[in-house]
Structures are given as C-alpha cells and as structure tokens.
Chains A and B, each alone.
Chain A
Amino acid sequence: MYSPVKLWRNQKHTQILLGKKGVIVSWTIIRVPPEGFSNQAPYPVVVVRLENKEMITAQMVDWEESQCRIGQYVRVILRRISEPSSEGVIPYGLKVKPL
C-alpha cells in the first residue's frame, strides 16, 4: 500500500512538525473508513492550525467526544498510520492528541 521510499522521504517533514502544538479549526468523525483504517474507526480527523502557523489535516487519537470541537488544543505525535500490507513496511506518521 505504501512505498517505503515515499515514507522515508516524508520523514523530513514529519520531524519538523513532531511535538508542535496547535488548535482545531474544523473536524469530523470518520465512520466509514478507507482501506487500511477499518480497525480504527470511528476516529476523528481534524484540521489544525499549528503554532508555526502551518495548517495540517491529521487523525486525532486518544480522544473523547467532548474533545471533538473547534478550539480544542492538540499536540502532534508519531503513531502507526494504518494496517500494514502483507509485504510492506509498517507505516508511521503524524497524528494529533488532545491536550
């Protein structure tokens, strides 16, 4: 599913954003997930304005319903993205966690 080379290339950007704090500007809860995400659903996906002004879309983990709101503070963390395919690497990348 994921090219290991592509994941490796993305790591530079991952390192820059890791640990940054931000605030949710909009959100949804995905109840019908795409391939590879079914074991995590339902899960929120949020648009976040980070402290460096960069805007990102990311999955929110370790969440409660009350934290799905515009204005909620979050922090960028590293997590496994989705189910690895039988032959691929385990994909790690950015997610956010409520503060």
Chain B
Amino acid sequence: MNIVISGIGITKFGELWDMSPRTLARQAGEAALHDAGLVSKDIDAIIVANMLSGMLGSQEHLGALFGEELGFLGKPAMKVEGACASGGLAVHTAINSLLGGQYKRIMVLGIEKMTDQKPERVASALIGAGTNEERLAGITFPGVYAVLARAHMEKFGTTQEQMAAVAVKNHFHASLNPLAQFHTLLSVEKVMRSACVADPLKLLDCSPISDGAAAVILSINKEPRMKDSVSVVASQVATDTLGVARRKNLTGLNATEIAAKKAYEDAGVSVADIRVAEVHDCFTIAEIFAMEDLGFFKKGKAAEAIMQGQTTLGVGKGVVVNTSGGLKGCGHPVGATGVKQIVEIAVQLRGSAGKRQVSGARIGLTHNVGGSGATCVVHILKRT
C-alpha cells in the first residue's frame, strides 16, 4: 500500500474561545490545500473526524457543514466517529475509499470544540465512549485509566513518578512546538504535587480539554510537482470490549497489539525501524501501555525506559515519542488528535520539524486509541 500525503494543515491547539468550529475547519483545511498546492475543486471527497459536536454543540451533519465551509459543495462528505480514535479511523476510511477506486484525492478533517462547555459536561460527554455500566458507576475517563494504571502498578511495580516522567517529557517536546497548547516545562515533583483526579492519576497525568483542527489530503497517486513525498504504507484498525471490566488483561491494550502486528507486517518493517512515533498518551499511563503494546519495550519495562529519557528528543538513541507534545502537551481535541498525529509524523519525515526535528527520520508510526482501548488505529508512514 502506498497512499501519498499530498498536503497537511493544522491550527493552534488550546482554549480557542474566539474561534468557532467553522473557523477552525477553514484554517486547517485551507492550510492543507495550500500545502498541497491544490484548490478545493481538486479534492473528490471530505471525511470529517469528530466525537462530541452532537453532545456539546447540538450540531450533527458535519460532512455537509464543513464541506460547505471549505467550498466542497456538491462533493461527497461524511463523518467518522470512534471516540478519541475518530481521527485515525477517518484516515483509515479515507485510505480504503481511495483504494476502492472511486476517489483520487480525499481531505480528512479532524476537529473538536470542547472548551465552550464546563468541565463536568465535557467529562460526561467523553464517557459516552464507555459502557452504560461505566456511566452508572459514576466513573470518568481519568477513572477508567486509573483502574488500568492500578493494575499495571500491581503487576509490574510501575510507580507514579515513572508515570509523571511521561508528562515531563511530553511538555518538553510541546515547548518546542509553536502550535502546542502548553509551553510550560514540568518536573516529576510538580506532577506529583498536582491535585488528584482519580487515584493514582493526578491533574498533570491527564491530557487537557482542547479545541483544534487538523487536516490531511491523501492521494492515490504521487503529485507531479513533488520530488519526494511521505506516504502511508500501513493502516490497521483493531477493537476490543467497549468497557474495561470484560477484558482478560488490564495491563495492556489488546487492540493495540493486534493493530500494530498487522501494520508492521503490511509495511514490511519491524518495530526497530521506527524512528519517530506519535502515540496516544491521553493519560501518562496510556503512553506506558502504548510503548509496551506496540513492541518498543517488553511488558513492564517501558516506564523505567521513559524515565531514563530513552524516548526523549536528543537523549535516546531509539524511537523518539510524541515530538508534537502528544495529547498531554500539544492538547487533545479528540476528533483532531488522530489526524494531528499524521500531520506531525509527515512534518518529521519531511524534515521540517525545526527545533523538534528527529534527525534522519524516514519511518514513523501513529497510534490512536478510542475509549479505554476499544478501538485502536495504527498507521505507518514512510518517506519515499
């Protein structure tokens, strides 16, 4: 498989009270068209990734809405939803639509507007990604990941300081990304001192509530004007039980393992070939899970390695993880996240990441999770 990334565009992530969803969509979409050197008539379809517009904004029918906003009148437009994996799923859907042969170029727009509502409302909407049983139990998303963290701590002796080190690393990376939500550096002590949200997770273990949009233009053919380009060479999705209680194992995400294994096979690469990765760190423990489930470290070994800086820019010799700042540092507008991950890896593989550039990166990976691991999307990107 070889799907060309013809254009990328992204907005600032953060509390963007003065920007409407239409404005965000236009910024990201027009940036992607400009980057590709294309105009709206060159695009055959638009696929929107979003989770919460219905619950938080009383707005559905996003395909038509953003199709209109971006000047795609008359063209096919639709939304894909898979909780926080909506972005990755939309990219996967776009790729399969291209391979199906009807379209030559598709824009994928990931977008979320979360900060218009009070945090309790957002927390209640987000747990819409879980089960009815979880909602009746009064659990929140930090709570679900706290349950997973507790199980990992019990089995592997993972510590709260090791989890904190994930936030420290990702805020450091975010400080090098002008579009990231946070530019403040953290320390392990500062994370440990932050207010407890759901034991053992503290406020600074959690990704923030964010607004933002990201867009990619995917093409079946190489654009004539491009000398070298970045392509998607594997796109895999796997699923698991919707809630955590019915999982056989609470110390990893099975969907990640399945999707990753298939993606490595498809791309013909091994985990050791991956030089840069954007993984789904909705909570610090989630990055530890991701590093183990994707095969970068053995089970129970990732937390210590992250704390030693093995995945930090300029420190480790292997894969550098979440150069954008991840969900923790760059922000997590849920529908946008999976698309932002593709944008970030494309920037890295083009060699245009500036201060946060991973030198010599030619193969990269994105890992996008929906809910507590019920959906996982893995993409592998290559500079060709």
Contacts and interface: CB of A to CB of B under 8 A. Distances in A.
B199 A29 contact: yes
A27 B250 CA distance: 11
Contact of B140 (A33, A56, A70): A33
Interface in A25-61: 25-38, 40, 43, 45, 47-48, 55-59
Interface in B118-143: 119-121, 123-124, 127, 131-140, 142-143
Contacts, number: 101
Nearest to B135: A34
Contacts of A29: 196, 198-199
Contacts of A72: none
Contacts of B127: 34
B150 interface: yes
Interface residues of B, number: 37
A57 B124 contact: no
Contacts of A67: none
A26 B132 contact: no
Given A38-B120, A47-B245, A57-B137, A31 B132 contact: no
B246 interface: yes
B165 interface: no
Contacts of B146: 28
Given A28-B150, A29-B199, A47-B147, A58 B124 contact: no
Interface of A: 6, 10, 25-38, 40, 43, 45, 47-48, 55-59, 68, 70, 81-82, 91, 93-95
11 contacts: A26-B150, A29-B196, A29-B199, A31-B198, A31-B199, A32-B123, A32-B142, A34-B127, A34-B138, A37-B138, A57-B243
By Cβ-Cβ distance, the 8 closest A-B pairs, closest first, are A28-B146, A55-B245, A37-B138, A45-B139, A34-B124, A26-B151, A29-B199, A26-B147
